[in-house]
């Protein structure tokens, strides 16, 4: 059993979907669970629909949704022949559900509506793709993952109920494979035990694929992306970036922690627990080997560069010239936890605590206001945070040449520079 996950970019248009079929043909002998994201930027577009609806701009919400409908109907029209009518009918059912919701007045939380509406992106794309594959002779069955992934009702960031989901997989998914080689389903979404739709957090389809991998005991999980594999730097910023053929789970977690946008960080745990390799492959050129992530410790990795732009540094000075001790530190962590802010770097000296966080206007304002009850607060903006894993003194010097270093933090494996 293999799990294949196709992200938004790999199902973005008619040509990409045809390519997806070609990729499946390369693996004729395997049972495959195919996990699909919403097409291209559909999730962003649906977010705008929810926002307009929630702000009481109903006509605008309906209009924005109309556009999304048309895009999907057009894609279906180009791809489908014999199953065109049946697929349109299924899409129309989903459309109607959303439109009903949009005609109501919002009475519940934003996050609740977000999930009821945004979840359809994955339902649309997977419906079209499943039909297309069947027309191409790639027999598969479509299944609604909301009947499989049972979650809590933490809307927009729902947690999976492992026990119930495992049972659903055993009862509802495993039997499909007696008859079909391929089951097509959605990433990113699930449902509560009251059948309310939920989402697992933006970019959560990687995680969905990993959960399927874990619960189905897959031989591996492959994420098909528009890059050649996982690179040691963003090739748009570092033209000399190279693909790393092999990584350990730990290394990938570290990279994600420092801000590399490669794989959703929640993806690793379910795979690591069962020692299931994660493979990142290029859907534009499936012959490329891509990157394999597994348990092995990999020696001689090149320096890995991660840059986070838009950083803010909070300088928190103790008011009475007392040393920064456990009380001040614990107050700071408490504030961060309260505001749900993850610090990217923290450094302490005698009378100052320095905290680097993503520059989000609202959060910084709130944090600074709360912290000013105990500290004198100064905020510095417009910084960037450079992290180098497996650095050498030369690479570090080269990368920071000509820049002003506001802060530096160093361990044997990792060096970080906050740069102005």
d(CA 46, CA 98): 11
Nearer to Mg ion, 7 or 213 (CB): 7
Nearer to ligand ASP, 20 or 415 (CB): 20
One of 2, 3, 8, 364 touching ligand ASP (CB under 6 A): 8
One of 12, 126, 205, 214 touching ligand ASP (CB under 6 A): 205
d(CA 379, CA 192): 42
d(CA 267, CA 160): 13
Which one of ligand ASP, Mg ion, none is in contact with 187 (Cβ closer than 5 to 8 A by kind)? ligand ASP
CB of 128 to Mg ion, least distance (A): 16
CB of 136 to ligand ASP, least distance (A): 24
SS3 at position 219: coil
Q: At what angle do helices 120-135 and 84-103 cross, to 10 degrees?
A: 170
Residue among 177, 173, 102 nearest 144 (CA): 173
Residue 277 as a binder of ligand ASP (CB under 6 A): the answer is no
Residue 229 as a binder of ligand ASP (CB under 6 A): the answer is no
Residue 203 as a binder of ligand ASP (CB under 6 A): the answer is yes
Residue 416 as a binder of ligand ASP (CB under 6 A): the answer is no
One of 40, 204, 229, 277 touching ligand ASP (CB under 6 A): 204
In sequence order, the 6+-apart residues with CB closer than 8 A to the CB of 313 are: 354, 355, 356, 379, 380, 381, 383, 406, 407, 418
One of 5, 8, 113, 233 touching Mg ion (CB under 5 A): 8
d(CA 315, CA 131): 57
Which one of Mg ion, ligand ASP, none is in contact with 113 (Cβ closer than 5 to 8 A by kind)? none
d(CA 222, CA 5): 6
Radius of gyration of the chain (CA): 24
d(CA 98, CA 101): 5
Segment interacting with ligand ASP, rule: CB under 6 A, options 48-56, 57-65, 171-179, 201-209: 201-209
Chain residues 31-70 in contact with Mg ion, contact rule CB under 5 A: 37
Chain residues 28-87 in contact with ligand ASP, contact rule CB under 6 A: 37-38, 43
Question: Is residue 240 packed enough to be buried (19+ CB in 10 Å), middle (13-18) or exposed (0-12)?
Answer: exposed
CA atoms within 13 A on the CB side of 273: 12
Segment interacting with ligand ASP, rule: CB under 6 A, options 133-141, 202-210, 391-399, 410-418: 202-210
Q: Mask: binding to ligand ASP, 179-198, rule CB under 6 A, as x and -?
A: --------xx----------
Nearer to Mg ion, 5 or 90 (CB): 5
In sequence order, the 6+-apart residues with CB closer than 8 A to the CB of 95 are: 65, 69
CB of 152 to ligand ASP, least distance (A): 19
Q: Which residue's beta carbon is nearest to the bound ligand ASP?
A: 205
Contact positions vs ligand ASP (CB under 6 A)? 7-8, 37-38, 43, 121, 187-188, 202-205
């Amino acid at each position: 059993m293999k799990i294949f996950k196709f992200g938004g970019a790999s199902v973005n248009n008619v040509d990409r979907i045809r390519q997806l079929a070609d990729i499946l043909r390369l693996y004729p002998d395997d049972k495959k669970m195919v996990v699909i994201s919403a097409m291209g930027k559909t999730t962003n577009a649906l977010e705008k629909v929810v926002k307009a609806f929630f702000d009481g701009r109903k006509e605008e919400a309906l209009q924005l949704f109309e556009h999304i409908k048309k895009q999907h109907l057009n894609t279906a029209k180009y791809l489908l022949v014999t199953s065109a009518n049946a697929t349109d009918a299924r899409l129309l059912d989903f459309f109607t559900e959303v439109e009903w919701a949009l005609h109501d007045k919002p009475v519940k939380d934003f996050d609740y509506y977000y999930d009821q509406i945004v979840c359809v992106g994955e339902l649309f794309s997977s419906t079209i793709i499943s039909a297309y594959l069947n027309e191409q002779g790639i027999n598969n069955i479509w299944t609604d993952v909301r009947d499989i992934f049972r979650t809590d009702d933490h809307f927009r960031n729902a947690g999976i109920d492992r026990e119930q989901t495992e049972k659903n997989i055993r009862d509802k998914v495993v039997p499909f494979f007696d008859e079909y080689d391929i089951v097509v389903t959605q990433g990113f979404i699930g449902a509560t035990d009251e059948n309310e739709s939920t989402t697992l957090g933006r970019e959560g389809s990687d995680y969905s694929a990993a959960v399927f991998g874990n619960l189905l005991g897959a031989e591996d999980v492959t994420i098909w992306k528009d890059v050649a594999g996982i690179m040691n730097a963003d090739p748009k910023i570092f033209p000399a970036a190279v693909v790393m053929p092999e990584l350990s789970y730990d290394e990938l977690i570290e990279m994600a922690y420092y801000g590399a946008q490669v794989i959703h960080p929640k993806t690793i745990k379910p795979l690591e627990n069962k020692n299931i390799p994660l493979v990142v492959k290029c859907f534009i050129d499936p012959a490329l080997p891509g990157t394999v992530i597994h348990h092995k410790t990999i020696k001689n990795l090149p320096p890995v560069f991660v840059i986070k732009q838009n950083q803010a540094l909070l300088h928190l000075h103790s008011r009475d010239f007392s040393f920064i001790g456990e009380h001040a530190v614990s107050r700071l962590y408490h504030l961060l936890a309260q505001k749900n802010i993850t610090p990217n770097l923290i450094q302490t000296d005698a009378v100052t605590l320095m905290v680097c966080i993503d520059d989000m206007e609202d959060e910084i304002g709130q944090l600074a206001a709360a912290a000013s009850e105990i500290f004198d607060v100064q905020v510095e903006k417009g910084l960037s945070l450079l992290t180098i894993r497996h650095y050498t003194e030369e690479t570090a010097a080269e990368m920071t040449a000509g820049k002003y270093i506001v802060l530096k933090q160093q361990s044997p494996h990792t060096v970080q520079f906050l740069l102005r």
